[in-house]
Structure 1
Amino acid sequence: MTDVPLDDRGFTLGHGLFETVLWTEGRLDAFDDHAERMRRGCRALGLPLPDAAALEASAHEALAAAGKPARAAVRLTWTAGSGARGLDTPVPITPRLTAQAAPSAPPAEPARLAIARTRRNDRSPTSRLKSLAYLDNVLARAEAQAAGADEALMLNTAGEIACAAAANIFWIRHGEVFTPTLEAGVLDGIIRRRVIAACHDLGLPLHEVFANPGRLNGAPMFITNSLIGVRAVSDLNGSALPTSPLVSRIAKAVSRSR
Structure 2
Amino acid sequence: MKIWLNGAMADARDVRIDPADRGFLLGDGLFETMLALHGHILFADEHMLRLGAATDLIGLPLPCSLAEIEMACADLLDENELDEAPRASLRVTVTRGPAPRGLALPAAPKPTVLITCAAIGEAPMRMSLVTATPRRNPWSPSSRLKALPYLDNLLAKEEAREKGADDALLLDTNGNIACTSAANIFLWEGDRLVTPSTNCGILPGITRAALFELAPEIGIELREEEIAPAQLARISGAFVTNSLVGIVPVTNIDGRDIPAHPMTARLAAAYELLLDAAEEED
TM-score (norm 1): 0.96
Q: Is the 8 A contact 2:89 2:244 kept in 1?
A: yes
How do residues 167-182 of structure 1 correspond to structure 2 at under 5 angstroms? 167-182=183-198
Q: Is the 8 A contact 2:188 2:238 kept in 1?
A: yes
Q: Secondary structure at the match of 1:117?
A: strand
Partner residue in 1 for 2:279: none
Counterpart amino acid of 1:33?
A: E
Partner residue in 2 for 1:55: 69
Spell out, residue by residue over 1:230-258, the C-alpha distance to the aligned partner (whole angstroms, 9 max, x if none).
11001111221111111011111222222
How do residues 127-138 of structure 1 correspond to structure 2 at under 5 angstroms? 127-138=143-154
Partner residue in 1 for 2:225: 209
How do residues 68-217 of structure 1 correspond to structure 2 at under 5 angstroms? 68=82, 69-217=85-233
- Give the gaps of 5 or more residues in structure 1: none
Q: Distance in 2 between matches of 1:59 and 1:238?
A: 41
Partner residue in 1 for 2:252: 235
Partner residue in 2 for 1:257: 274
Q: 1:24 to 1:5 in 2, by over 3 A?
A: same
Q: Secondary structure at the match of 2:203?
A: coil
Alignment equivalent of 2:28, drawn from 1, 7, 15: 15
Q: Distance in 2 between matches of 1:10 and 1:29?
A: 26
Q: Is the 8 A contact 2:90 2:116 kept in 1?
A: yes
Q: Distance in 2 between matches of 1:197 and 1:17?
A: 26
Q: Secondary structure at the match of 1:194?
A: helix
- How many correspondences in the alignment? 258
Q: Distance in 2 between matches of 1:109 and 1:248?
A: 11
Spell out, residue by residue over 1:162-181, the C-alpha distance to the aligned partner (whole angstroms, 9 max, x if none).
00100000000120000000
TM-aligned CA deviation for residue 111 of structure 1: 0.5
When Rg is computed on C-alpha atoms for both structures, the one with the higher figure is: 2
Q: Secondary structure at the match of 1:149?
A: coil
CA RMSD after TM alignment? 1.4
Q: Is the 8 A contact 2:39 2:74 kept in 1?
A: no
TM-score (norm 2): 0.88
TM-aligned CA deviation for residue 57 of structure 1: 3.3
Q: Is the 8 A contact 2:46 2:206 kept in 1?
A: yes
Q: Secondary structure at the match of 1:118?
A: strand
Alignment equivalent of 1:43, drawn from 56, 65, 71: 56
Q: Is the 8 A contact 2:129 2:166 kept in 1?
A: yes
Q: Is the 8 A contact 1:120 1:154 kept in 2?
A: yes
Q: Is the 8 A contact 2:124 2:245 kept in 1?
A: no
Q: Distance in 2 between matches of 1:61 and 1:84?
A: 33
- Give the gaps of 5 or more residues in structure 2: 6-15, 276-282
TM-aligned CA deviation for residue 93 of structure 1: 1.7
